[in-house]
A and B are shown apart, each in its own frame.
Chain A
């Protein structure tokens, strides 16, 4: 009951938003002529763009390619990020020296890696995946480091007095204890990966959502640009809601958090 109510509220909100948007467009572009039609998108135009892209079978291909890259890049980032994170935990002295650098790399916008990517790998898949990797590895590494450091020391003490040591301490205590914050870290890593993907795709010319966006700009088709932005936002929300949130809830419930 409350869920349907929430959905209904949201639906009404978005319908009103679309209506207001179209009204604003009509008023400012068509009636008053304040804005140029090529610089201001409108819902009807976006809808038409959508129909064109679907008709030409460009949309699904672009979404497919982008998602594939994002997932590959993200999985690789998890791998390198977790290794780097463990390294930060394990070698405290080196970590002290490295952390500011990693923190800096994490805040560096991943678009900065695009020139390197193109020079090293050319205008291809590998270049984009490299940009994703650089964009999300450091964030994942830092959250792995933090998740492990924040494990309640009492759990580790208790496990030690019950005979756990070495690797067992990691697999049986530190990993499960740090899982909740680890999942949060991975979620953040994903959003970095998704942003980096767009940076990579806009700059290089492989098929994907970023390229579709650039194409929209080149064709001076502002409605298409808007459409791609909306699709990117919707995909982001869907992945967050249905993949991460579901995963989080299931795991955390199972683990009793």
Chain B
């Protein structure tokens, strides 16, 4: 698996400047990439472009050498809100993509149960989504995304809508899941802490939608946020991102 982004530009007609400018990235098999940046820097746009939910103005995104022209199950997205279908049970939500892919009933059942067990929700398979808590919903959404065994998993601030306690619990759980599955993940977050916790590589975007810097994170897993190295890197990144935010505030003042 290889995902390459070459000279990618995205310009929305309604905006005066480019949302993304000359993005170049290469993502390798099994890599966990986190994208951070001040709000409005185009993180989610970048994810939508990879997902094929939007098309680039210029440049190309290639998955295994093939240019992306639309959405597809080889690039499943896990959204900020769970996006589970309320008219389906938990198990049927997980089976949704498998059904579309034309898998046999037995295979659907086995795969769904495997991933529901992985997120520790096997007992809830017949529940309706509205009967679950926010954290449980996101775990079902994760099971649903993993079940399709996509080449790359795209995650758009999956913890943003959760309370801090749930977020921390889920974070540990997801770390252990990814240590098992070794998935290639493209993860958008506004939380530096989350990025340092998960990433093999952190990409920082500027307000103008350019890649400002890249950091390799080589701490062993499972990671702990109390670790001194962890704290140091987090502080350094926070400083960097603050600079970016200040720049964006400055440019806004200048425009007024």
A residues at B contact (CB < 8 Å): 154-155, 157-165, 168, 172-173, 176-177, 179, 255-257
Contacts and interface: CB of A to CB of B under 8 A. Distances in A.
Contacts of A160: 52-53, 70-71
Chain B's interface: helix, strand, loop or mixed, by majority?
loop
Chain A's interface: helix, strand, loop or mixed, by majority?
helix
B128 interface: yes
Contacts of B101: 163
Given A163-B100, A168-B100, A172-B100, A256 B83 contact: no
Contacts of A165: 71
21 contacts: A154-B79, A154-B81, A154-B83, A157-B79, A157-B83, A158-B77, A158-B79, A158-B85, A161-B51, A161-B53, A161-B76, A162-B97, A163-B100, A163-B101, A164-B96, A172-B100, A176-B85, A255-B87, A256-B88, A256-B89, A257-B87
A252 to B, nearest CB: 9
B53 A162 contact: no
A159 B96 contact: yes
Contacts, number: 65
B100 A162 contact: yes
Contacts of A173: 85
B237 interface: no
Interface of B: 51-53, 70-73, 75-77, 79, 81, 83, 85-89, 96-97, 100-101, 128-130, 144, 148, 154
B86 A163 contact: no
Contacts of A168: 100
A162 B87 contact: no
B135 to A, nearest CB: 18
B90 to A, nearest CB: 10
Contacts of B77: 157-158, 161
Contact of A162 (B88, B89, B130, B148): B148
Nearest to B131: A256
B131 to A, nearest CB: 8
A165 B75 CA distance: 15
Nearest to A179: B87
Contacts of A163: 72-73, 97, 100-101, 148
Given A161-B73, A163-B101, A176 B53 contact: no
B1 to A, nearest CB: 17
Nearest to A158: B83
B72 A155 contact: no
A106 B33 CA distance: 54
A164 B100 contact: yes
Given A157-B77, A164-B100, A256 B71 contact: no
For A157, A158, A176, the residue with the greatest tally of chain B CB atoms inside 10 Å of its CB is A158
B93 to A, nearest CB: 10
Nearest to B147: A162
B86 A162 contact: no
Nearest to B102: A163
A251 to B, nearest CB: 10
A161 B71 contact: yes
Nearest to A256: B128
Contacts of A159: 96
Contacts of B100: 162-164, 168, 172
A256 B87 contact: yes
Contacts of B51: 161
For B71, B73, B88, B144, the residue with the greatest tally of chain A CB atoms inside 10 Å of its CB is B71
B85 A161 contact: no
Contacts of B148: 162-163
For B70, B79, B85, the residue with the greatest tally of chain A CB atoms inside 10 Å of its CB is B85
Contacts of A162: 73, 76, 96-97, 100, 144, 148
A155 B85 contact: yes
Nearest to B96: A162
A173 B72 CA distance: 16
Contacts of A179: 87
A9 B101 CA distance: 57
Contact of A161 (B75, B87, B129): B75
